[in-house]
A and B are shown apart, each in its own frame.
Chain A
Amino acid sequence: MEFLSTLINGLSLGGRYAMIALGYTMVYGIAKMLNFAHGDIIMVGAYTIYIFMAMNQPLIAIIAAIFVCVLFGVLIEKIAYKPLRGASPLAVLITAIGVSYLLQSLAQIIFGSANKMVNGYEFGMVKFLGADIQVSELITLGAATAVMAALTLFVKYTRTGRAMIAVSEDKGAAQLMGINVNKIIMITFAIGSALAALAGLFYLFKSPSVSNNLGAMPGIKAFTAAVIGGIGSIPGAMLGGLLLGIIESVSYKISAIAPYTDAIEFFILIVILLIRPTGFLGKKRREKV
């Protein structure tokens, strides 16, 4: 059952993309900026896990990773992005690129350029309908689904969640309604970073080596996923992530196009942006004249 294992692979990969894409999409929706450094938060999480796994603390590692990532996310927002609120989008984007670069080079200075191995998250395989499926993939898929469901409920039914929607609709009006916009933006960054930490964990399930550019490529691809689904839309990020995951795993299976997998994904991104810049579930925005 080649097909089934490819599908499960794709879905769990898609789950990872979706979790990262959620971070992009929420920050984009609320702070109206592309947080280029988001992918590198995954790397921060993975290194944190590496440190604690070296002490053989698998559970504490996960909690610590979430904590450290949230801390990084919030600090980055406070130091680098907040001073630029109201500045030109180009300036914000370049700063974000700078932050991404900074995190990568800091990691390399601290941990060296050699890949670090993280061992201890081995779960083995199961047979399912005649296909060999890694348990880690199932865990990833399950956890991702649970997290996304929780996030959807959070945004829909809590005060903070509704405040987030309000800020994404109209920052000024939200402020007039007594919503602390700065706090909401901070919370958004915190949630996005926590999700990135989990994504980092799932990446380690898949391949147990950490390097300083671990998050760069998944970050860009997850952004692709967010765009496919429609940036600013939470269900869109999930849909886009899963779609991209399946496309990627199918493409890897076909030997003729396997080496071009990255190129194909980026090509899809360009095509979607050209045909439907708002993605599948995004809302159209007009600039008021």
Chain B
Amino acid sequence: MNIKKIKWNHYINYIVIGIFTVVLTVMSLNGPLNSSLLFLLEKVAISIILAVSLSLVVGFLGELSLGHAGFMCVGAYLGGKVSALLVPSLGNGIAAFLISLAVGAGVAALCGVIIGIPALRLRGDYLAIVTLAFGEIVKSVFQNTSKETFGGAIGLNTPRYDKKYLFIIAFTLVLVTLAIIQNFIRSKHGRAVTAIRDNEIAARATGINVTKYKLITFTLSATFAGIAGVLYSYSNYTVQSAKFGYNYSIEILVMVVLGGMGKINGSIIAATLITYLNTKLATVLTGDLAVLQNLFYALILIVIVIYNNAPALKQFRNRYDVSAILKKIFKHRSDPSHVKDDAQKWDVVPTKIEMNEVLSVDMVPPEMKDYNKGNGGKK
């Protein structure tokens, strides 16, 4: 294994989040962090998990889910309930947390399967509306529960984990989420999912089991939304179904769109930014002004999507494509894909044609090139 082969851009997000967490942990050892900062950190972690898991469905499968908050809601209620039941006997420790995490994520995953089934038959607008309907159904069901079971309209009281260290758990979960989702995307299975997004008919004709992969993607996405929900129940005193409405799903969608569809790192940055802004703006924009924030989201959605997708702007986009320009500038210094492929070039048993090409490009002096090529053609 060559050290150059490591694709640093694949691992940069783990490293940044890891260092960030370690630094904060060290800081918290010297004395507890400011409680509002702690709360912000937990919220950021929850948002990142939500945005990355939604990005899996929207950016990689190419379907719109408007019920992501619904999966989170399931996780929050179930996780919160289980922890409320467990804490008296197990204590408010990591064991109770892990069990409620498993239950919350598990039930959310189950809901993901249930929503995944219509996803097999429907696409686009119809599927979006089904996910929206699902979110509303979940909200309405929890709203109408009795006071003893899930608290009904008042909400479910949850025991909070020791606030001092919850953010460490939260960021560990962020890393786990990232690892699993990125591993999925960067495997043959993830490739199958992007193939379905790009051209479902061709994917079927190429032997991809579309049904299976749509279900897997929805389930995976829902599982992590459920995990975010359990985290939420640990970070707050109460879980109220009204919080998990359509608007919250849209907020997560804004993060994904702002970060760039199909770009995990973008989703992470956008989730952090928007959560931070939300908290800061909440103190500045009070009363009717609070809605300015929503206006801002709406504009982000419209402007970014039109800019990125309008057929008329294609030339403009190509001319001012920042990443392409950067690539051009840094091409010689660092293009990991090139390094990797060159290293492998000699691993492959060269075929007839390839051998000729390799010779003609690399070893034959320029004046011999034409001759060699002609020869290859005749063969």
* B residues near A83, Cβ cutoff 8 Å: 306, 310, 312-313
* B309 near A88: Cβ-Cβ < 8 Å: yes
A154 within 8 A of B: no
- Give the distance in Å from the alpha carbon of A89 to the alpha carbon of B128 in the complex: 11
Most buried by A among B121, B133, B253, B299: B133
A-B contact pairs, 11 of them (CB 8 A): A84-B306, A85-B311, A91-B308, A94-B305, A98-B299, A98-B300, A101-B294, A101-B298, A109-B291, A260-B144, A273-B122
Establish whether residues A34 and B288, one from each chain, have CB atoms under 8 Å apart when the complex forms.
no
A78 to chain B, nearest CB (A): 12
Count of A-B contacts judged by CB separation below 8 Å? 137
Given A93-B125, A95-B301, also A105-B295 (CB < 8 A): yes
A94/B62 contact (C-beta < 8 A), A101-B294, A266-B133, A269-B133 known: no
* B133 & A105 in contact (Cβ 8 Å cutoff): no
Indicate whether A86 sits within 8 Å of B140 (C-beta atoms), given known contacts A274-B117, A277-B122.
no
Contact across chains for B309 and A33 when beta carbons are under 8 A apart: no
Report the nearest A residue to B302, measured CB to CB: A98
Tell me whether B134 is interfacial, beta carbon within 8 Å. Answer: yes
Q: Is A266 a contact of B310 with CB atoms below 8 Å?
A: no
Assess whether B311 is in contact with A87, with CB atoms less than 8 Å apart.
Answer: yes
* Residue from B143, B288, B301 in contact with A101 in the complex, judged by beta carbons closer than 8 Å: B301
Q: 1/0 per residue B281-309: CB within 8 Å of A?
A: 00000011001101101111110011011
In the bound complex, residues from chain B placing their C-beta under 8 Å from that of A86 are 311
Do A97 and B136 touch (CB < 8 A)? no
Which are the 3 A-B pairs with shortest beta-carbon distances?
Answer: A98-B301, A266-B133, A102-B298
Most buried by B among A95, A98, A263: A98
A287 contacts the other chain (CB 8 A): yes
Cα of A63 to Cα of B53 in the assembled complex, Å = 47
Q: Which residue of B lies closest to A259 (CB)?
A: B144
Verify if A189 is at the interface (C-beta below 8 Å from B).
no
Q: Within B110-151, which residues are at the interface with A (CB < 8 Å)?
A: 117-118, 121-122, 124-126, 128-130, 132-134, 136-137, 140-141, 143-144
A112 within 8 A of B: yes
Task: List the A side residues contacting B126 at CB < 8 Å.
Answer: 227, 273, 277
B-facing residues in A162-210 (Cβ within 8 Å): none
Least Cβ–Cβ distance between A215 and chain B, in angstroms? 13
Q: Does A74 contact B (CB under 8 A)?
A: no
User: What chain A residues lie within 8 Å of B19 (beta carbons)?
Assistant: none
Within 50-67 of A, Cβ neighbours of B (below 8 Å) are at none
Contact yes or no, B309 A263, CB < 8 A: no
Given contacts A90-B62, A289-B201, 11 further A-B contacts (CB under 8 A): A80-B302, A85-B311, A87-B309, A88-B309, A94-B64, A102-B299, A108-B294, A109-B292, A227-B126, A277-B126, A287-B201
Q: Which residues of the other chain, A, contact B44 by a CB distance below 8 angstroms?
A: none
Q: Which residues of A contact B82 (CB under 8 A)?
A: none
B228-270 CB contacts (< 8 Å) to partner A: 246, 250, 253, 257
Where chain B touches its partner, the secondary structure class is helix
Tell me if A223 is interfacial: C-beta within 8 Å of chain B: yes
A95 touches B298 (CB 8 A): no
Residue of chain B at shortest CB distance from A99: B302
In the complex, residue of chain A having the shortest beta-carbon distance to the beta carbon of B288: A112
Q: Report how far A259 CA is from B144 CA in the complex, Å.
A: 7
Check B301–A94 contact: CB distance below 8 A. yes
B56 in contact (CB, < 8 A): no
- Nearest B residue to A217 by beta-carbon distance? B136
A105–B294 touching, CB < 8 Å: yes
List A79-134 residues whose CB lies under 8 Å from chain B: 80, 83-91, 93-95, 97-99, 101-102, 104-106, 108-109, 112-113
Closest CB in chain B relative to A170 CB, distance in Å: 19
Say whether B125 contacts A89, CB under 8 Å: yes
CA distance A105 to B308 in the complex (A): 24
Query: CB within 8 A of A97: which of B137, B253, B299?
Result: B253
Question: A interface, how many residues as a size bin?
Answer: 35 or more
B192 an interface residue at 8 Å Cβ cutoff? no
Contact between chains at A270 and B201 (CB < 8 Å): no
B129 and A227 form a contact (CB under 8 A): yes
With known contacts A88-B309, A101-B250, A263–B125 Cβ distance under 8 A:
no
When chains A and B are docked, how far (Å) is the Cα of A34 from the Cα of B136? 19
B235 to chain A, nearest CB (A): 26
Residues of chain B contacted by A273 (CB below 8 angstroms): 118, 121-122, 126, 129-130
Minimum C-beta distance from A126 to chain B (A): 34
Quote the shortest CB–CB distance from B40 to chain A (angstroms): 24
By a CB distance below 8 angstroms, the chain A residues around B297 are 98, 101
CB distance from A231 to the nearest CB of B (A): 8
A220 contacts the other chain (CB 8 A): yes
Q: How far is the CA of A83 from the CA of B133 in the complex (A)?
A: 29
Closest-by-CB residue of A relative to B140 is A263
Q: How far is the CA of A263 from the CA of B139 in the complex (A)?
A: 9
Q: Which residue of B lies closest to A98 (CB)?
A: B301
Q: Point out the residues of chain A lying under 8 angstroms from B125, CB to CB.
A: 28, 33-34, 89, 93
Please report the C-alpha to C-alpha distance between residue A93 and residue B306 in the assembled complex, in whole angstroms. 11
B73 proximal to A (CB < 8 A): no
List chain A residues, Cβ under 8 A from B69: none
- A204–B311 alpha-carbon span in the complex (Å): 41
**B-side contacts of A28, CB under 8 Å:** 125
CA distance A95 to B136 in the complex (A): 21
B141 touches A84 (CB 8 A): no
* Highest count of chain A CB atoms <10 Å: which of B140, B302, B305, B310: B305
A266 touches B137 (CB 8 A): yes
Closest to B144 in A: A259
Q: Is the CB of B298 within 8 A of A105?
A: yes
Q: Any chain A CB within 8 A of the CB of B101? A: no
**With an 8 A cutoff between CB atoms, is B74 at the interface?**
no
Q: Which residues of B contact A88 (CB under 8 A)?
A: 62, 309
* Minimum CB distance partner of B152 in chain A: A259
**What is the minimal beta-carbon distance from A247 to any residue of chain B, in angstroms?**
15
Contacts of B294 in A (CB 8 A): 101, 104-105, 108
Q: Provide the residues of chain B in CB contact with A262, threshold 8 Å.
A: 136-137, 140
